[in-house]
Amino acid sequence: MNTSNASLNERIALATQTRFGEALPLPTGTPGADELARQLEHSSHRKWTEQPVDPGLLKLLFACALSVPSKSDLQQADIIHVADRAKIKAIADLIPDMPWINNAPVFLTFCGNNRRIRQIGEWRGKPFVNEHLDHFMNAAVDAGIVLSQFIRAAEAAGLGTVPISAVRNFPRETSDVLGLPEAVFPVAGLCVGYPLEKGHITARLNLNITVHTDRFDESKLKDNIDAYDQRRHKLFPLRKQRHPQRYADVPFYGWSEDKARHYSVPERSDFGAFIREKKFSLK
């Protein structure tokens, strides 16, 4: 990889132009610009080479991921390394539209774990009085933070990944396969391997939509969403209109039409019941 500053400037300008619709400059003298470029160029990968992932490297990546900040030092995220191909297949069979799960050289599941803190309370003779929504959220967000850093570590080391939140479509089955006890729940799976091909940068909402100064601002949101739909369509038009049995084809099919259709059908409406079965009150 050419990591000269000129090349990094170009990579960052190109990646931000593609991702956000504006070419951002790299301020002179910024250290770590190779990592910034790697983040901006992030893409998901669903096809991998035959090259196995060295077990020592994988362990090091777990260590990297678990070096993140943790809410109040409670350390409520765990990683399940699903090494048994039969278990990977059992999960993959639940989600037939994602064949990359079964093909992934490595498959992980990132879990929220509120169980340990409850056990520690028992062992240390203290009552556990935090059985409410924030308690659940802490663990879910901690798991997301660990997942995010794992992806960064993996990409730095030349690997490609794709997260699989669809394990939450089948939370009981996933939980059974992985032997998750009370108060431990899956947040997302992750496929990992050496990418077969270069990925592509997904266009994201322009920064004027997702970054606010001082106060949440949606004064121009509708126009900004329309502009994003157009920009994204020019780069990567969505070719398949979702739920065609329910909605007539439209001449312009942008991101917002797709997402409105996506969430017009219930998804994981049973996940709350699963979490309550895991002994969360969510009150």
Q: Of 39-78, which residues contact a second copy (CB under 8 A)?
A: 39-42, 44, 54, 56-57, 59-75, 77-78
* Euclidean distance between CA atoms 54 and 200, whole angstroms: 26
Q: Of 91-110, which residues contact a second copy (CB under 8 A)?
A: none
- Quote the least distance from Cβ 33 to a second copy, whole Å: 8
Q: Would you say 99 or 236 has its CB closer to a second copy?
A: 236
Stretch touching a second copy by CB under 8 A, among 36-44, 89-97, 98-106, 192-200: 36-44
Q: Of 174-213, which residues contact a second copy (CB under 8 A)?
A: 178-181, 184, 187-188, 201-202, 204-205, 207, 209-213
SS3 assignment, position 253: coil
32 touches a second copy by CB under 8 A: yes
256 touches a second copy by CB under 8 A: yes
Which DSSP letter does residue 80 get? Answer: E
- Quote the least distance from Cβ 103 to a second copy, whole Å: 18
* DSSP H or E stretch at residue 187: strand 184-193
* Euclidean distance between CA atoms 29 and 52, whole angstroms: 37
What tokens were used for 244? 């065609």
24 touches a second copy by CB under 8 A: yes
26 touches a second copy by CB under 8 A: yes
Q: Which of 49, 51, 83, 237 binds a second copy (CB under 8 A)?
A: 83
Q: Which of 99, 120, 220, 230 binds a second copy (CB under 8 A)?
A: 120
Q: Is residue 221 packed enough to be buried (19+ CB in 10 Å), middle (13-18) or exposed (0-12)?
A: exposed
| Residue-by-residue DSSP string for 7-19 | HHHHHHHHHHHHH
- CA angle, residues 58, 74, 131, in degrees to nearest 5: 125
